[in-house]
Amino acid sequence: MAGTIAAVSALGMTAVLGGCGVTGGSGDVTLKLVAADYGDSAANSSKKYWDKLADEYEADHPGVTIDVSVYSWNDVDRKVREMVAAGDPPDMAQIGAYADYAAKNQLYKADDLLSIPVQADFVGQLASAGQVKGVQYGMPFAASTRVLFYNKTLFAKAGITPPESWDDLAEDAEALKAEGVKYPYALPLGPEEAQAETMQWMLSGGGGYTDSVDSYGIDSPENIDTFSWLKNDLVGKDLTGPVAPGELNRAAAFAAFAKGQVGMLNGHPSLMKIAESKGVKYGMVPMPGKGGPSKSTLGVADWMTAFRENGHRDQIGDFLDFVYSEKNVLAFSREYDLLPVTSSASTTMAASEEDRHLRPFLEELLASELYPVGKTSWADVSALVKQQIGKAVAPGGSPSGVLGHLQAAAGRAESAE
């Protein structure tokens, strides 16, 4: 998630990994793993994490070899698609989505792989988000949430306190603007990650991408009210900075925060390191909601999948039980400032002084909602949101018109599933 990283996963980070399953002679098995790289340099590449894990596992399992390949987030999903299309899928792929493969019956069910204690240890919301029609195919591998970051120095200069509601946020933004702050509230609705900022605001207004029966509800009254407020009370009052929200990308907003040019913005854990590296004093609070702190926040996850093609169910399951041990989940989460996907590791992290900087995000995880990743249509809908949502808050734009257009497109995509 460093601003210098070009590729972003659902979590807003870079990633790479790879592998394939081949059966050798005398009962030996090679499991191919393709994964994503969460590092921002060779020094902290995920390849190091996986190589160490593979060495440990192989030492106790002489008949199994773990063949790991790591790719950047620019390439990893495409690489797996190409391998699957060529009839040579990896045994395991740690990537950004799973629903398309599950819909084509290409994946093992989590039930068929993991021991009961390991599967039961997944954080509830994450396990549910890995389901298609009530069956879990996507195993959460890494998670993150969002909180509101604010610049303590700018807030002190303006004599204001962190916001709890939309009205508070608008008042704070007015005070920051009066002090000459370039971006009182940075609203990145540009194509890089607009689907995240959009969902964060929808949730804060009591809406979301889907309704109570899991159908798309993009143009719900709550969502229209939310974007009308953004258009009229923030963007229309020149409180979001010199770059139009539809042209402002997340990485640029983070970079501006690190330069001391942003009063407030939504961010994930990587923003802490970016800000600290530039000496920015920041605070973090829950996302403000319509009448007080938001009741729900955005949670995001990347996924582990296991392909059926090579038939190594037992060996894959045993290796994944090892991958999801508390020790290994904690090691990965701590290396990349991510949230554990298991309850046991989450409990340990919440009580650890070593992990105190992640507590605000950990506390938000239990009240988080994830993208509707179990829908095979979500990738197309997300791409449309990235392209069009900025128009909803642009001068002359129509929140109800833009959201209605997106809802119609989402309905067509869902009916085509």
Task: Give dist(CA 227, CA 272) in Å, integer.
Answer: 28
Shared domain for 68 and 100, answered yes or no, is: yes
Structure-token pair, residue 7: 């590729």
What is the CATH classification number for the domain harbouring 210?
3.40.190.10
Task: Give dist(CA 11, CA 372) in Å, integer.
Answer: 15
Shared domain for 277 and 332, answered yes or no, is: no
Q: What is the pLDDT of residues 59-101, one digit of tens each?
A: 999 999 999 999 988 889 999 999 999 999 999 999 988 999 9
Structure-token pair, residue 313: 């169910």
Shared domain for 252 and 389, answered yes or no, is: yes
Residue 265 lies in a domain: yes
pLDDT of residue 11: 65
Contact 405, 385 (CB under 8 A): no
Contact 188, 389 (CB under 8 A): no
The pLDDT-based confidence of 417 (bands split at 50, 70, 90) is low
Shared domain for 396 and 277, answered yes or no, is: yes
Q: What element of type H or E holds 323?
A: helix 313-323
The pLDDT-based confidence of 8 (bands split at 50, 70, 90) is very low
Residue 4 has pLDDT above 90, yes or no: no
| DSSP type of residue 360 | H
| DSSP type of residue 392 | G
Shared domain for 309 and 276, answered yes or no, is: no
Shared domain for 272 and 168, answered yes or no, is: yes
pLDDT of residue 16: 33
pLDDT of residue 214: 84
Compare 275 and 15 and report the one with higher pLDDT.
Answer: 275
Instruction: Return the half-sphere exposure (C-beta side, CA atoms, 13 A cut-off) of residue 171.
Output: 11
Amino acid identity, position 300: V
State percent of the chain over pLDDT 90: 84
Task: Give dist(CA 160, CA 254) in Å, integer.
Answer: 22
pLDDT of residue 73: 86
pLDDT of residue 320: 98
Q: Give the chain's mean pLDDT.
A: 91
Shared domain for 275 and 389, answered yes or no, is: yes
For the chain, how long is the longest CA-to-CA vector? 75
Shared domain for 78 and 37, answered yes or no, is: yes
The pLDDT-based confidence of 12 (bands split at 50, 70, 90) is low
Residue 241 lies in a domain: yes
Sheet strands side by side (includes 183-185) = 183-185, 262-267, 147-151, 282-285
Residue 271 lies in a domain: yes
Domain boundary among the residues 357, 385, 402 is at 357
Which residues on neighbouring strands pair with residue 185, listed in sequence order?
Answer: 264
Q: Which stretches does DSSP call E strand in 277-413?
A: 282-285, 297-306, 368-370
Which residues on neighbouring strands pair with residue 338, listed in sequence order?
Answer: none
Task: Give dist(CA 290, CA 330) in Å, integer.
Answer: 35
The pLDDT-based confidence of 10 (bands split at 50, 70, 90) is low
Q: What is the pLDDT of residues 189-213, one digit of tens each?
A: 999 889 999 999 999 999 999 998 8
pLDDT of residue 7: 39
The pLDDT-based confidence of 311 (bands split at 50, 70, 90) is very high
Task: Residue 381: name the closest of 343, 340, 341, 416 by CA.
Answer: 416
Task: Give dist(CA 198, CA 192) in Å, integer.
Answer: 12
Residue 20 lies in a domain: no
Contact 340, 352 (CB under 8 A): no
Q: Kind of pairing, strands 29-36 and 92-95?
A: parallel
Compare 45 and 402 and report the one with higher pLDDT.
Answer: 402
Amino acid identity, position 90: P
pTM for the full model?
Answer: 0.86
What phi, psi does 288 have (nearest 5°)?
-65, 145
Residue 365 lies in a domain: no
Shared domain for 89 and 47, answered yes or no, is: yes
Decide: helix, strand or coil at residue 29.
strand
Q: What is the pLDDT of residues 324-375, one digit of tens each?
A: 999 999 999 999 999 999 999 999 999 999 999 999 999 898 889 999 999 9
Q: What is the pLDDT of residues 22-41, one digit of tens each?
A: 333 346 999 999 999 998 77
Q: What is the pLDDT of residues 118-147, one digit of tens each?
A: 999 999 999 999 999 899 999 999 999 999
Length of the chain: 417
Task: Residue 222: name the closest of 240, 213, 210 by CA.
Answer: 210
String of DSSP letters for 66-124? EEEEEE-TTTHHHHHHHHHHTT---SEEEES--HHHHHTT-B--HHHHS-HHHHHTB-H
Residue 252 lies in a domain: yes
Shared domain for 381 and 395, answered yes or no, is: yes
Residue 255 lies in a domain: yes
Residue 370 lies in a domain: no
Which residues on neighbouring strands pair with residue 262, listed in sequence order?
Answer: 183
Total of domains in the chain: 2
Range(s) of the domain holding residue 108: 29-143+301-357
Shared domain for 252 and 388, answered yes or no, is: yes
Q: What is the pLDDT of residues 270-303, one digit of tens each?
A: 899 899 999 999 999 999 999 999 989 999 999 9
pLDDT of residue 2: 35
What phi, psi does 218 have (nearest 5°)?
-65, -35
Shared domain for 234 and 157, answered yes or no, is: yes
